[in-house]
Chains A and B, each alone.
Chain A
C-alpha cells in the first residue's frame, strides 16, 4: 500500500476563479522522500492542506496510508504528522509541555521516554523547561520538528523544515531526517524553497505551477532534462516560463 495516493485532486475556492489545485494525481510509495516545489501561489499549501484533511477538496480523492481522507481521516492522522514554521505551538507552554500535549493527542505510549529520545536526538534537552515563545526561530523550528515526530509517523508532511536554521543545524536536521526515513520506512513529503535541501533529500520532485504539476522526476533527471547545473536553475526556468 502506497503512503499517498492522490487522484484528480481539485480545489476551487470560488466558482468564478481558476482552481488553486487542478487535477493533481500521484502515487507516493512508502519509504520515499518527495519534494513539492513551486513559487508563491503555485498551490503547495493548498495541496498539503488537502493531504492533511484540513481542507476539503472540490473533487478528487486522497488516500493516506490507505485511508480515505474524507471518510476516515482521523485514523490516518494518528499515523501521520506535519510541521510548518508558519503554524505556532502555544507560546506560554514549555517545550516539554507542548510535546506532552501532542503526545496525548497522538496517543503516544511511554510518552516521557519518547520526549527524552527526541530531546536528545534534536538537541532540545536544555530547552525542555523553557516557554516555547522565548525560543529563537531556529529553536522553534527544532521543537516543531520534534512535535511532528512525537508519534513516530509513517507519513510526514514538512513545510520548510529547515527554515531559520543556521547551516550547521539545518545539515544536522537533514541528516537526522534521512536516518529516520531509513530506520522507519517513513515517507516524507517536503515543500521547500531550499533547492539544495530538495536535491539532497528528495528522490522525486513535483514542480507545481498554477495548481498543476508541470514537470516531475528525480532531481538529476530534471537537471539533465533542462540542461541546467542545479535544481534552482530548473526551478527558475519553470517559474519564469510563459503561461
Chain B
C-alpha cells in the first residue's frame, strides 16, 4: 500500500525536483500575501495604540493560517487536475492503486505543497515584521493540522465535482475556499456575523481555529473547546466528502466518464 502511494507521490515530486519555476510558483502567493498584509499591519502598528497592535498580530496570524487551508485544498485538487490534464488518469485507474490510496497520495502531496508554500511566508513574517506564529505555542501545530485537514475535505468535494462535471468544474480548484473566507472568521470573530449566519460559520473547522487563535493571541489562553470542535468537524467533513468522492468515482465508472476524462 505505501509503495503504491509513494508511486503517485513520486510522479509529482519528480517534477518539482527538476523545476525551480514550479517551486517558486508554490511559494509565490503566500509570500505575496504576507508582504501585502505585513505592510498593512506595519501601518496599523504605526497608529501606536494597543488595539491596533493587537489587530496587527491577528491579521498576520490569520493570513498565515488561512494559507495553510488554501494551499492544502489547492495542492490536492491541482495534483488531481494535473493527472487529468496529462491524460494519465486512465493508466492510474487501471493500476492496482486503490481509490483510498489515491486519496492518501493526494493528501500527502497537498501537505508537502502546503509546507513548501507556507514556511517561507512564516519566515518572512518573522524577519520582516517581527511576527512569530510559533509564539502561539504547541497549539499552532493543531491549528495548522486542522486547517490542512479542512483543505483536504474541501478538495475532495471539488474533485468530486470535477469527476461529475469534468473540466467545467476546474475553476473551483482555485476559487472555492476564497468563497468560504467570509464565513470562516479568518480576520474577525464569528460574533461579527449576523446571527443567522453564525451557525454556518460554526459548522466550519476554520472558524474554531481562528477563534482559538484569537484567544491565544489576544487573551493568551488555549481554548481546548474550539480545538476539539475543529478536529471533530474535520473528521465529519472528511468522512462526508470522502464518501461523496468514492460515490462519484463509482458513478463515473458507471457512466464511462473515466474513459475520456481530461479530453
Contacts and interface: CB of A to CB of B under 8 A. Distances in A.
Interface of A: 11, 13, 45-46, 49, 52-56, 74-75, 77-78, 80, 82, 84, 87-93, 97, 100-107, 147
Interface in B1-38: 3-4, 6-8, 10-11, 14-15, 19
B96 interface: yes
Nearest to B22: A92
A46 to B, nearest CB: 7
Contacts of A75: 96
A100 to B, nearest CB: 7
A84 B90 contact: yes
B259 A102 contact: no
A147 B91 contact: yes
Contact of B7 (A52, A93, A104): A104
A106 B95 contact: yes
A208 B97 CA distance: 31
B253 A54 contact: yes
B98 interface: yes
Which 3 pairs from chain A and chain B are nearest by CB?
A104-B7, A87-B90, A78-B96
Contacts of B19: 92
B7 A89 contact: no
A101 B90 contact: no
Contact of B86 (A74, A90, A106): A90
Interface of B: 3-4, 6-8, 10-11, 14-15, 19, 86-88, 90-98, 250, 253-256, 258-259
Contacts of A106: 95-96
Contacts, number: 90
Contacts of B14: 93, 97, 100-101
B255 A13 contact: yes
B256 A101 contact: no
Chain B binding surface SS class: helix
Contacts of A77: 94-96
B129 to A, nearest CB: 37
A88 B86 contact: yes
Contact of A90 (B88, B90, B98, B253): B88
B151 to A, nearest CB: 24
Contacts of B91: 82, 87, 89, 102, 147
Contacts of B98: 74
B8 A105 contact: yes
Nearest to B11: A101
Contacts of A52: 94
Candidate in B3, B15, B98 with the most chain A CB atoms within 10 angstroms: B3
B259 A49 contact: yes
A146 to B, nearest CB: 13
A93 B95 contact: no
A11 B3 CA distance: 34
A49 B261 CA distance: 13
B9 to A, nearest CB: 9
Contacts of A90: 11, 15, 86, 88
A90 B19 CA distance: 15
Nearest to B82: A90
A19 to B, nearest CB: 12
A92 B92 CA distance: 17
A144 to B, nearest CB: 9
B253 A104 contact: no
Contacts of A13: 255-256
Contacts of B250: 56
B2 to A, nearest CB: 10
27 contacts: A11-B256, A49-B256, A53-B253, A54-B93, A54-B94, A55-B254, A55-B259, A56-B253, A56-B254, A74-B96, A77-B95, A77-B96, A87-B87, A87-B90, A88-B87, A90-B15, A92-B86, A97-B10, A97-B11, A100-B7, A101-B8, A102-B7, A104-B3, A104-B4, A104-B7, A105-B95, A147-B91
